[in-house]
C-alpha cells in the first residue's frame, strides 16, 4: 500500500498527467473498498451535475479572445490616462492593468504574455531598473485572482458549494490590499525615480475612453448583472462570451474569423485539462469522504492544535507548500472538499477559507519548482529562470505579507459580504 503511494507520487513528480495519477488512486481505493470500478463513470458524469460550471468554459473563451485582440493595448492606455500622473505612475499602471486583465482572463499566464509584452519595454524606456521590471511584470501576472470574475474564484464556489456572488464580494478588499502593498513597495524602491508617465490630461483620458468604448460595458454587464440578481454567473459568462466575440471579430475586426477555431481550441484545451481533473478528483475525494478521511484528518489536526489561530497558521504553511507543487485549479478540486469539514471544525467561514486558499495559491505562481509565472516570464523575456526568480523574490515577500494579513484578518474578506 505504502509502496503504491510512493510509486504514484514518484510518477507525479516525474511528470505523469495529474488526472491519471488521481484516477489511479481513486480506482485503487475502489478496489480496496470492493466497489465496482464501473462507478468511475458516475463520478465523471458528476461534471454534468455541477451548477454554474458552464461559466468556466465561457469566461475562458472570452478571456482568450480578449488577449488575442488589441484590448490589452487599450487597457494599458486607459489605465495610463487614469493613473499615469501619479509619481512612479507606470509601475502602478502595470499593477492595476494586470490585475484587471487577470480577473477577466482567468489565471493561466496569458496576462504576462499579453500585457507584459507591452509593459516590460515601456518600464525600461521610462528608466526603471531591469531587475525591478522583470520582477514586477512576473508577479503582476497572477495579481487580480481575487477579483470577479476570475476562474479560480468560480471554481472554488462550484467545488465548495459556496455562493459565487459572495466570493466575488469577499475578494474585493483582500485583492485591493495586495495591490496597495505592491504599489507601495514599487514606489519605495523607485523613490529616486518617481517620475510620472505624464501630467493628467482630460483630452488623453477622453481619447483612451473613446478607444475602449466597446470594452467598457463589460465590467458593468458582468458585475452589475450578477450583483443586481438579474443574471446568474453562468448567464453573465454566456453574455460576456457572445459580446466579446461580436466586438472583437465583427466590430473591431481585430480577430480574423479564420483564427477563431484555433482560439477556441486553445481555450477549450485548457478547460478540458482542468475539468478532467475535476471529474476524477470527485471520484477520489468522494471515496475518501465515504471512508471517513476528513474526520480522521480532523482528529489528527485536533490533536495538534486547539485554537483557530494555530489552525490558520498550520493551514497557511500547508497551502504555501501545496501551491509550490500543484497548480491552482488542481489544488482547488483536489484539496478543498477534504479541507472544508476540517475548517468548519475550527469555525473558519467557508468564504474566508476560499479567499485564504486562493491568496496563498497565488504565491505558488511565483515559487519554484513549478511556479508557472516564472517559466512564462523566463520564456517570454528570454531570461534564465534563476534570474527571474531572484528578481521576483522581493515581490514574493510583499505578497506573502499580504497573504498573512488576509489570513488572520477574516473581517477583511467578510466585511462586504452580506449576512444571511
Partner 1 sequence: MKKLLSRLDGLGRFAENAALIILLGGMIILAVGQIILREVFATGFIWVDPLIKLMVLWLAMVGSVAACRDDRHIRIDALSHILPDGLVKITRIVVDIFAALVCGVIAWHTYRYLQLEIEFDDRLLIDVPAWWVHVIVPVAFLLASYRFFVLVARQIITWAVGQEPEKTE
Binding site for partner 1 (CB under 8 A): 11-20, 23-24, 27, 37-42, 44-45, 47-50, 53-54, 56-58, 61, 231, 234-235, 237-239, 241-242, 245, 260-261, 264-266, 268-279, 325-327, 329-330, 369-370, 385
Residue 175 Cβ vs partner 1, minimum distance, rounded to whole Å: 25
Query: E strand or H helix at 239, and its extent?
Result: helix 233-245
Of 303, 85, 296, the closest CA to residue 195 belongs to: 85
Residue 375 Cβ vs partner 1, minimum distance, rounded to whole Å: 8
Q: Compare residues 97 and 231 and give the one whose CB is closer to partner 1.
A: 231
CB 208 within 8 A of CB 218: no
Q: Compare residues 270 and 406 and give the one whose CB is closer to partner 1.
A: 270
Of 105, 130, 126, the closest CA to residue 115 belongs to: 105
What whole-number distance in Å separates Cα of residue 97 and Cα of residue 95?
Answer: 6
Residue 35 DSSP SS3:
coil
Q: Is 5 exposed, middle or buried (0-12, 13-18, 19+ CB in 10 A)?
A: exposed
- DSSP string computed for 366-418: TSTTT-HHHHHHHHHTT--HHHHHHHHHHHHHHHHHHHHHHHH-HHHHHTTSP
Residue 279 Cβ vs partner 1, minimum distance, rounded to whole Å: 7
Residue 265 Cβ vs partner 1, minimum distance, rounded to whole Å: 5
Sole residue written with cell 470527485: 282
Signed CA dihedral, 8, 303, 333, 23: sign only: positive
Q: Compare residues 27 and 182 and give the one whose CB is closer to partner 1.
A: 27
Q: Residue 199 has which C-alpha cell?
A: 501630467
DSSP 419: P
What whole-number distance in Å separates Cα of residue 101 and Cα of residue 353?
Answer: 24
Q: Compare residues 245 and 320 and give the one whose CB is closer to partner 1.
A: 245
Q: Compare residues 2 and 38 and give the one whose CB is closer to partner 1.
A: 38
Q: Compare residues 31 and 201 and give the one whose CB is closer to partner 1.
A: 31
Signed CA dihedral, 191, 192, 196, 197: sign only: negative
Residue 85 Cβ vs partner 1, minimum distance, rounded to whole Å: 40
What whole-number distance in Å separates Cα of residue 256 and Cα of residue 306?
Answer: 59
Q: Compare residues 42 and 416 and give the one whose CB is closer to partner 1.
A: 42
Residue 347 Cβ vs partner 1, minimum distance, rounded to whole Å: 33
Residue 369 Cβ vs partner 1, minimum distance, rounded to whole Å: 4
Q: Compare residues 27 and 71 and give the one whose CB is closer to partner 1.
A: 27
Contacts of 253 (CB under 8 A, 6+ apart): none
Residue 329 Cβ vs partner 1, minimum distance, rounded to whole Å: 7
Q: Compare residues 36 and 411 and give the one whose CB is closer to partner 1.
A: 36
Contacts of 121 (CB under 8 A, 6+ apart): none
Residue 8 Cβ vs partner 1, minimum distance, rounded to whole Å: 10
Q: Residue 314 has which C-alpha cell?
A: 498550520
What whole-number distance in Å separates Cα of residue 86 and Cα of residue 169?
Answer: 28
Q: Compare residues 234 and 402 and give the one whose CB is closer to partner 1.
A: 234
What value does the CA radius of gyration of the chain take, rounded to a whole number of Å? Answer: 22
Residue 87 Cβ vs partner 1, minimum distance, rounded to whole Å: 39
Amino acid at each position: 500500500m505504502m509502496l503504491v503511494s510512493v510509486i504514484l507520487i514518484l510518477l507525479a513528480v516525474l511528470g505523469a498527467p495529474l488526472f491519471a495519477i488521481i484516477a489511479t488512486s481513486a480506482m485503487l481505493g475502489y478496489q480496496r473498498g470492493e466497489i465496482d470500478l464501473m462507478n468511475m463513470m458516475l463520478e465523471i458524469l458528476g461534471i454534468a451535475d455541477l451548477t454554474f460550471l458552464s461559466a468556466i468554459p465561457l469566461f475562458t473563451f472570452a478571456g482568450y479572445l480578449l488577449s488575442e485582440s488589441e484590448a490589452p493595448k487599450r487597457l494599458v492606455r486607459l489605465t495610463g490616462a487614469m493613473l499615469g500622473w501619479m509619481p512612479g505612475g507606470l509601475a502602478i499602471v502595470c499593477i492595476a492593468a494586470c490585475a484587471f486583465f487577470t480577473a477577466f482572463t482567468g489565471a493561466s499566464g496569458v496576462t504576462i504574455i499579453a500585457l507584459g509584452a507591452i509593459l516590460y519595454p515601456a518600464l525600461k524606456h521610462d528608466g526603471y531598473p531591469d531587475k525591478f521590471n522583470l520582477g514586477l511584470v512576473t508577479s503582476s501576472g497572477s495579481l487580480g485572482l481575487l477579483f470577479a470574475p476570475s476562474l479560480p474564484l468560480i471554481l472554488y464556489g462550484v467545488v465548495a458549494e459556496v455562493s459565487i456572488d459572495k466570493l466575488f464580494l469577499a475578494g474585493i478588499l483582500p485583492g485591493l490590499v495586495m495591490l496597495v502593498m505592491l504599489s507601495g513597495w514599487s514606489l519605495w524602491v523607485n523613490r529616486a525615480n518617481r517620475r510620472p508617465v505624464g501630467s493628467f490630461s482630460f483630452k488623453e483620458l477622453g481619447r483612451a475612453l473613446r478607444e475602449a468604448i466597446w470594452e467598457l460595458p463589460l465590467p458593468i454587464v458582468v458585475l452589475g448583472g450578477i450583483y443586481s440578481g438579474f443574471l446568474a454567473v453562468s448567464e453573465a459568462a454566456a453574455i460576456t462570451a457572445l459580446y466579446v466575440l461580436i466586438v472583437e471579430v465583427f466590430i473591431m475586426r481585430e480577430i480574423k474569423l479564420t483564427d477563431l477555431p484555433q482560439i477556441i481550441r486553445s481555450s477549450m484545451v485548457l478547460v478540458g485539462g482542468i475539468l478532467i481533473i475535476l471529474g476524477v478528483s470527485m471520484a477520489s475525494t468522494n471515496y475518501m469522504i465515504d471512508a471517513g478521511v476528513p474526520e480522521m484528518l480532523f482528529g489528527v489536526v485536533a490533536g495538534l492544535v486547539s485554537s483557530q489561530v494555530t489552525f490558520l497558521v498550520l493551514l497557511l504553511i500547508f497551502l504555501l507548500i501545496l501551491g509550490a507543487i500543484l497548480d491552482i485549479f488542481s489544488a482547488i478540486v483536489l484539496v478543498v472538499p477534504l479541507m472544508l469539514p476540517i475548517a468548519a471544525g475550527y469555525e473558519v467561514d467557508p468564504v474566508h477559507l476560499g479567499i485564504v486558499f486562493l491568496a496563498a495559491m497565488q504565491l505558488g505562481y511565483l515559487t519554484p519548482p513549478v511556479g508557472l509565472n516564472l517559466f512564462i516570464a523566463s520564456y517570454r523575456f528570454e531570461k534564465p529562470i534563476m534570474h527571474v526568480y531572484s528578481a521576483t523574490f522581493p515581490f514574493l515577500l510583499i505578497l506573502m505579507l499580504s497573504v498573512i494579513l488576509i489570513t488572520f484578518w477574516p473581517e477583511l474578506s467578510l466585511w462586504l459580504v452580506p449576512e444571511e
